[in-house]
Chain A
């Protein structure tokens, strides 16, 4: 079942964010995302898997083979960089052919394989262009073709879409998923973008300061964050401590609000869209600090006894003004309960 396995991986290296005792398993054909804020060690982990950084401890096992000390150029992995890292002096065709030429593949075999890889990423017709004459999206496609043409044992992608504009990013997500399915490649995908990870992944590994916070399916990460950090990172902007049958402000401030939860928890969290902002007298009392128009709804920042709470207005047309007295309905049934 496990195709790639990291066992107690430690990386401590100069400028790179450190990784501490990381355990990770990726199954064959799976697409797993490493998700986390910058400095969480996700790129460091990936560079260690690629062999570009030497771990200071632990093991990396690929398909039953311990590759911890195997030199990077013999690992047969594809790596797609955030910056594309195309060779500026070579045409798109020669960029893609680079790895095959190193392996001294005869021209009769090389030509069709490169052409197929270029076609797979939808770049037929651009073979003779230099990278400088290609758009960002096209360059990223060349980088992808350059990696998949070698039929890598594992494809690593380091924030491959973050230099593209929003529309292209969404389009490329779907294409990556299609290519991954068609070729049956095992992929490890590094990103700091929650939406990207949710829409692409079979599984998401959320990292923080070199450690795994949660390793679960996208739905689980979204609906049942395992830690307060994951909750905050996944958009649960309203996070409270829960003890003695009441919510408490997270920063240890004095406020409390009695509330029974459906199960045991140390924290309870709500996304803004799960928190209706109502007329006074319908829950936790508060006053509107700020409002922002989001098209479908209006989001309010409300000052309450539990500190600032983010909620949404029930009606776009009416809406509250700054300074209005309102109340907040915190529904225990909708809360994410955290250990």
Chain B
């Protein structure tokens, strides 16, 4: 390898600064012992991490976020895997239209998706808040699962399904015994991406959270409107570490980085 040139090195440092800068600010601020959020802090300590565990709203919304994240991820996989399979294996009328439709929530601003879902689920059907959040997030996650699972299916030759069938498997058996084991990594990658997307989701949740039920990011925004202490920075630090841990664990177990 050639030594890196000076302009390239400068660009690299600039890029890393933009990528990591905000995180470093938050990380440092989280360890502040000051009364208000400031950078750099004048004193350091763990007091705001301790404080977090006393805020009941954070605990409740953290659990809500976990439940909504896990539930909507499972639901999005249950829809997304069969759809991706159908898109990769069958020719049918309207296939391109369906593919386009499925990516729609990715290009439409979250605010608009949220508003539309609010209109439908809260105003028209008056669904309970948690159920509304689950459905809303599932809608949002399906494009991710279809895409990621689809890309790992496209790397798998389609004639292995036919081979399994001529050996006596039904189409369903062929899927579970031959296709699924070979796209395991893609499914895991889709699950992690979906869960993190749900867990960090703000615009759609904003419309769908209601009295007494809120997700963690929404609760954090609400908290910041009234208080301006370093606890938010401490919480953000924990969330970043949590996300990194989830990704690192699945990467180590399944090597998912080649799918995303």
In contact, B168 and A150 (Cβ under 8 angstroms): yes
The residue that A85 contacts in the complex, of B91, B160, B171, B181, with Cβ under 8 A, is B160
Question: Beyond A79-B162, A85-B157, is A73–B178 a contact (Cβ under 8 Å)?
Answer: no
Binding site for B on A (CB under 8 A): 14-15, 50-52, 71-79, 81, 83, 85-89, 98-99, 102-103, 143, 146-147, 150
Question: Beyond A85-B160, A85-B162, is A150–B182 a contact (Cβ under 8 Å)?
Answer: no
- Expressed in whole angstroms, the Cα–Cα distance for A78 and B178 within the complex equals 17
0/1 string, B161-200, CB within 8 A of A gives 1:
0111111111101000110011000000000000000000
In contact, A102 and B162 (Cβ under 8 angstroms): no
| Interface footprint category on B | 20 to 34
28 A-B pairs, CB-CB below 8 angstroms? A50-B162, A50-B166, A51-B166, A52-B162, A72-B165, A73-B166, A73-B167, A73-B171, A74-B168, A77-B166, A78-B166, A79-B162, A81-B159, A81-B162, A85-B162, A85-B163, A86-B163, A87-B164, A87-B178, A88-B160, A89-B181, A98-B164, A99-B167, A102-B173, A103-B168, A143-B163, A146-B167, A147-B166
In contact, B166 and A83 (Cβ under 8 angstroms): no
What is the minimal beta-carbon distance from B122 to any residue of chain A, in angstroms?
A: 44
In contact, B163 and A81 (Cβ under 8 angstroms): yes
Instruction: With CB as the reference atom, state the residue of chain B lying closest to A47.
Output: B162
Binding site for A on B (CB under 8 A): 91, 156-157, 159-160, 162-171, 173, 177-178, 181-182
In contact, B166 and A88 (Cβ under 8 angstroms): no
- Expressed in whole angstroms, the Cα–Cα distance for A290 and B168 within the complex equals 55
Instruction: With CB as the reference atom, state the residue of chain B lying closest to A50.
Output: B166
- Expressed in whole angstroms, the Cα–Cα distance for A51 and B164 within the complex equals 13
Cβ of A52: which chain B residues have Cβ within 8 Å of it?
162, 165-166
- Expressed in whole angstroms, the Cα–Cα distance for A83 and B91 within the complex equals 21
Cβ of A103: which chain B residues have Cβ within 8 Å of it?
168
Cβ of A143: which chain B residues have Cβ within 8 Å of it?
163
In contact, B159 and A85 (Cβ under 8 angstroms): yes
- Expressed in whole angstroms, the Cα–Cα distance for A99 and B164 within the complex equals 8
What is the minimal beta-carbon distance from A2 to any residue of chain B, in angstroms?
A: 22
Question: Beyond A14-B91, A52-B162, A83-B157, is A88–B168 a contact (Cβ under 8 Å)?
Answer: no
Cβ of B162: which chain A residues have Cβ within 8 Å of it?
50, 52, 72, 79, 81, 85
- Expressed in whole angstroms, the Cα–Cα distance for A99 and B165 within the complex equals 9
Instruction: With CB as the reference atom, state the residue of chain A lying closest to B180.
Output: A89
Question: Beyond A83-B157, A87-B160, is A150–B167 a contact (Cβ under 8 Å)?
Answer: yes
